[in-house]
Structure 1
């Protein structure tokens, strides 16, 4: 399975390097940014699973950056890492759309715990990590694996990412543009034909009616 991708906005280069090295040693892929404009550019060009955002950074503050991307519909979970500790700052952080707020200085192990906690509750905040799709078909949200009769089904990287997106947005109509941006990085060339192939492969496993094509709008993953 692909590594979980984190965007780290932190203008203190020493702290940024320390956090990156620690999280990468734990199996994460971390992309550092040192000012708000650089972070904004990166989050538009790449898909991330979690944002780690300092607040007082050059060009665009972490608060303003997250407020902006939330208004644009980006629901990627975010943790603020900041020395601001007044209750007003905490209120501002959550009003901006963060999922957690960690005051500096912090222990790296605490940061890891916060990250893991958010990623584990990524699907519907459900206590059971296994999501039932159909009889004998489950998705394990902790291991990001598709199980059929308790056997792991091997999916291609982008098929696995697509299935995860469908489950995160079950019963919603997901636009072609959102799917393409989610599956392919900025410098990759995606295609409708390739996407249809991934859809076809997932339908073979879960049934044709599970993934509905909505003409001119996108796809809908139906789940009771």
Structure 2
């Protein structure tokens, strides 16, 4: 298995060195040059690990980590930073980070930390790998639904993430703005209409079980009933 890593680093030379070094160790690495770009990539692709520089344009690493953690409770998050004050370290862990590597650091130490985080993450896989929605079995990482007669239904990446978010708020209202900001990073008219399209697609894919329903709560958002 080849792990995919999201690397957010605004120093071009350092980002290039880390990316190429990790790739030589058989990791797939996607490099973002600022926090906003990293957030967009996080919402478009699935990653095994995120390495985040703390001081970045548009969105700092702590803010980015907190947003990532709101959606994914299990993905490993590592900070890279020149800050060494204990309050900064505490803030890093408080925002959802799993590890904190101070600059300058050796690549060998980075490799060890990455390997350990991935190993720990693999061993701590929880029930989120297989979730029940009525008669359906939902596999978020595989982006699949399997119904009661073992028929497989494929989901797009955005469909899977939206369904996972709805399930995290099962039988409660998922606020429209919160979902838009987590999945699209924007709540303008076009992204709102885009999410409505995805909701319609999910309803069609869940329609074989009458006990499962995605309800539109006018003025607030959506509720997954199951």
CA offsets 1:149-194 (integer angstroms, 9 cap, x no match): 4443122443233222223443442223344455557799542652
Partner of 1:75: 70
Unaligned regions of 5+ residues in structure 1, if any? Answer: none
Going from structure 1 to structure 2, the CA distance change for 1:189 and 1:144 (only over 3 Å counts) comes to: same
Partner of 1:66: 62
Shift of 1:88: 4.8
1:181-192 aligned within 5 A: 181-182=181-182, 184=184, 189-190=190-191, 191=193
Distance 1:12 1:26 in 2: 20
Are 2:214 and 2:222, in contact at CA under 8 Å, matched by a contact in 1? yes
1:26-105 aligned within 5 A: 26-27=27-28, 30-33=30-33, 38-39=34-35, 41-42=36-37, 47-48=42-43, 51-55=50-54, 57=55, 62=60, 65-67=61-63, 70=66, 75-76=70-71, 78-82=77-81, 88-95=87-94, 97-103=95-101, 104-105=105-106
SS in structure 2 at match of 1:102: strand
Distance 1:66 1:27 in 2: 24
Q: 1:220 aligns with which of 197, 220, 223?
A: 223
Partner of 1:210: 213
Q: 1:114 aligns with which of 107, 113, 117?
A: 117
Going from structure 1 to structure 2, the CA distance change for 1:76 and 1:19 (only over 3 Å counts) comes to: farther
Distance 2:184 2:87 in 1: 39
Q: What TM-score comes out, normalization by structure 1 length?
A: 0.64
Are 1:166 and 1:221, in contact at CA under 8 Å, matched by a contact in 2? yes
CA offsets 1:112-149 (integer angstroms, 9 cap, x no match): 5525755996xxx73572112223x2122443322224
Going from structure 1 to structure 2, the CA distance change for 1:112 and 1:206 (only over 3 Å counts) comes to: farther
Shift of 1:211: 1.9
Distance 2:56 2:185 in 1: 26
Going from structure 1 to structure 2, the CA distance change for 1:188 and 1:217 (only over 3 Å counts) comes to: closer
Distance 1:179 1:4 in 2: 24
Going from structure 1 to structure 2, the CA distance change for 1:216 and 1:112 (only over 3 Å counts) comes to: farther
Q: Over the residues paired in the alignment, what is the CA RMSD in angstroms?
A: 4.3
Unaligned regions of 5+ residues in structure 2, if any? Answer: none
SS in structure 2 at match of 1:75: helix
Are 2:78 and 2:100, in contact at CA under 8 Å, matched by a contact in 1? yes
1:132 pairs with 2:132: yes
Number of positions where the alignment pairs a residue of Structure 1 with one of Structure 2: 205
Q: What TM-score comes out, normalization by structure 2 length?
A: 0.63
